[in-house]
């Protein structure tokens, strides 16, 4: 008989693998170009956001069908797998406080996952404003979800190493979210501007792009580690 607690374990591990593989391929297939360097013919780790993989046309007008399909499919998978968090609270049922906190965390993770699907459905070059708000909403929900899950781990009988991982995850996501929301989002679409440098600070832009890569790596590693914690709770 299937233990439903295994569903998020399998789903989240698949999500991490699928996200990494598909986006690696998407980067390789990306025709190139950044907001500050439209003529660039490769994906730039310092000037291209992950979301750039999902745009329909690059800054110089090149069609971006393959990369956008792969990137947007990874966000769809991420969102669907996030929904499996509804099964996670049952793993904390031995502790009432952890159980309640895990329910709140699971709800926030589901909201974040659905918001990431929204990110994929709103390519930045076409629906920039909607795209930005989905990103902000996703990261805010994710940040609060990680906070509640950290406390749930802390109060549960599971090893404190999972609490430490969750806390590190929370601090990094929270700092990045604060950084990204410390300034209001632009009220224009930068993909439609030729002189982007007159409206966007280049140094802040680079920090944002690179930090996003670091946060994504931390998120994927943390989620993978969480699955081992969930499995431990199942076995116990």
The pLDDT tens digits for 28-59 are 999 998 989 988 889 999 999 999 999 999 88
Q: Can you tell me the distance from the alpha carbon of 65 to that of 88, in angstroms, rounded to the nearest whole number?
A: 36
Share of the chain above pLDDT 70, in %: 97
Model pLDDT, residue 10: 92
The confidence score (pLDDT) of residue 188 equals 80
CA atoms within 13 A on the CB side of 188: 10
DSSP string, 187-226: SS-GGG-S-GGGTS-HHHHHHHHHHHHHHHHHHHHHHHHH
What is the overall mean pLDDT for the chain? 90
Q: What tokens does 150 get?
A: 């950290």
One-character DSSP codes across 57-113: B-TTS-B-HHHHHHHHHHHHHHHHHHGGGGGGGGGGTTSHHHHHHHHHHHHHHHHHH
pLDDT score at 72: 94
- Model pTM score: 0.89
The pLDDT, as a whole number, for residue 1 is 45
- Token pair, residue 86, equals 């509804």
- Answer yes or no: are the C-beta atoms of 51 and 131 closer than 8 Å: yes
> How long is the chain?
236
Beta bridge partners of 57: 63
236 DSSP assignment: -
Report the C-alpha gap between 33 and 156 in whole angstroms. Answer: 48
- What pLDDT, on a 0 to 100 scale, did the predictor assign at position 4? 65
């Amino acid at each position: 008989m299937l233990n439903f607690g295994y569903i998020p374990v399998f789903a989240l591990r698949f999500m991490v693998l699928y996200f990494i593989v598909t986006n690696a391929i998407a980067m390789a297939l990306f025709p190139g170009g950044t907001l500050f360097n439209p003529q660039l013919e490769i994906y730039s780790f310092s000037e291209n956001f992950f979301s750039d993989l999902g745009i329909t046309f690059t800054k110089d007008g090149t069609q971006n069908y393959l990369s956008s399909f792969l990137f947007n499919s990874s966000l769809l998978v991420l969102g669907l797998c996030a929904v499996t968090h509804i099964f996670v609270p049952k793993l904390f049922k031995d502790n009432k406080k952890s159980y309640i906190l895990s329910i709140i965390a699971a709800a926030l993770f589901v909201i974040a996952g659905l918001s990431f699907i929204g990110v994929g459905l709103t390519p930045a070059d076409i629906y920039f404003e909607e795209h930005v708000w989905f990103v902000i909403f996703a990261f805010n929900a994710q940040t609060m979800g990680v906070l509640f899950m950290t406390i749930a781990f802390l109060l549960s009988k599971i090893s404190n190493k999972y609490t430490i991982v969750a806390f590190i995850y929370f601090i990094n996501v929270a700092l990045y979210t604060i950084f990204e929301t410390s300034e209001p989002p632009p009220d224009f679409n930068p993909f439609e501007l030729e002189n982007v440098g007159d409206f966007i600070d280049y140094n802040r832009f680079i920090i944002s792009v690179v930090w996003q890569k670091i946060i994504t790596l931390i998120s994927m590693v943390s989620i993978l580690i969480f699955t081992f914690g969930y499995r431990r709770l199942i076995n116990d």
